[in-house]
């Protein structure tokens, strides 16, 4: 019985390590999707920066309360945070409440993160909706990054380095986003577009 008990304990510990590792990767991917630093996530969640760092590096087994605080700060259900990668179906469905939303500083533009969270470090895509006049100002992404904005409703303009280009329904703008850039919803109508950001892409000439 003692031997069986030790073996069972080792199995439980191994399972906990696997779950913890998956959790750390998920937290890190979501944090990067929101472009949050460890300090910013710590401030929003109330979880110490050092603890978040240990979770991401799989150096600690966080409490349920800690996981809940992080899930709230990252705008995702605790069930999704805890989901085991190996047990997820090949066809994955994300519900509307579980889709993280980014909001522009003026509150008039919203970006639903519809891309796969596992690709966030090199490929991101969003469902962008905007009220008329909405403005999204973005800092430079890493060198070589390219963004594609495909308009489905309304009219948008993109400004980079003093150069402005507009796009209407059915048109797409592709531009380097490794420098500060601004997206605006112009005209009197609301706008909608798909935005895809390719990080580490070949530099456009």
Q: What percent of the chain has pLDDT over 70?
A: 81
Using alpha carbons, list the distances in angstroms from residue 104 to 7, 11, 20, 63, 75.
52, 46, 33, 33, 16
Minimum mean pLDDT range among 8-17, 37-46, 90-99, 184-193:
8-17
Are the C-beta atoms of residues 126 and 102 closer than 8 Å to each other?
yes
Q: Residue 1 has what pLDDT? A: 44
Structure tokens at 138: 């973005």
Q: How far is CA 79 from the centre of its chain?
A: 17
Q: What is the pLDDT of residues 88-131, one digit of tens each?
A: 556 777 777 778 889 999 999 999 988 887 777 788 899 999 99
Give tens-digit pLDDT for 151-191.
999 999 999 989 999 999 999 999 999 899 999 999 899 99
When comparing pLDDT for 75 and 11, which is higher? 75
Question: Nearest Cα to 198, choosing from 180, 171, 168, 177?
Answer: 177
What are the structure tokens assigned to 63, written together?
């409490």
138 and 177 Cβ atoms separated by less than 8 Å: yes
Determine the Cα–Cα distance for residues 28 and 32; give it in Å rounded to an integer: 6
């Amino acid at each position: 019985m003692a031997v069986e008990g030790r073996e069972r304990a080792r199995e439980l510990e191994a399972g906990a390590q696997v779950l913890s590792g998956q959790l750390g990767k998920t937290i890190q991917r979501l944090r990067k999707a929101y472009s949050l630093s460890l300090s910013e996530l710590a401030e929003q969640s109330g979880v110490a920066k050092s603890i978040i760092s240990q979770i991401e590096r799989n150096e600690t087994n966080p409490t349920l309360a800690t996981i809940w605080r992080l899930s709230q700060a990252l705008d995702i259900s605790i069930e999704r945070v805890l989901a085991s990668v190996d047990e997820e179906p090949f066809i994955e469905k994300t519900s509307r409440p579980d889709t993280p939303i980014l909001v522009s500083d003026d509150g008039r533009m919203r970006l639903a993160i519809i891309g796969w969270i596992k690709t966030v470090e090199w490929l991101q895509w969003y469902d962008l909706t905007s009220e008329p006049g909405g403005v999204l100002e973005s800092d430079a992404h890493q060198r070589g990054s390219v963004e594609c904005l495909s308009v489905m409703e309304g009219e948008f303009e993109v400004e980079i380095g003093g150069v402005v280009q507009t796009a209407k329904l059915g048109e797409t703008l592709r531009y380097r986003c490794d420098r500060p850039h601004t997206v605006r919803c112009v005209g009197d109508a609301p706008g909608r577009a798909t935005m895809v950001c390719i990080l580490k892409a070949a530099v456009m000439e």
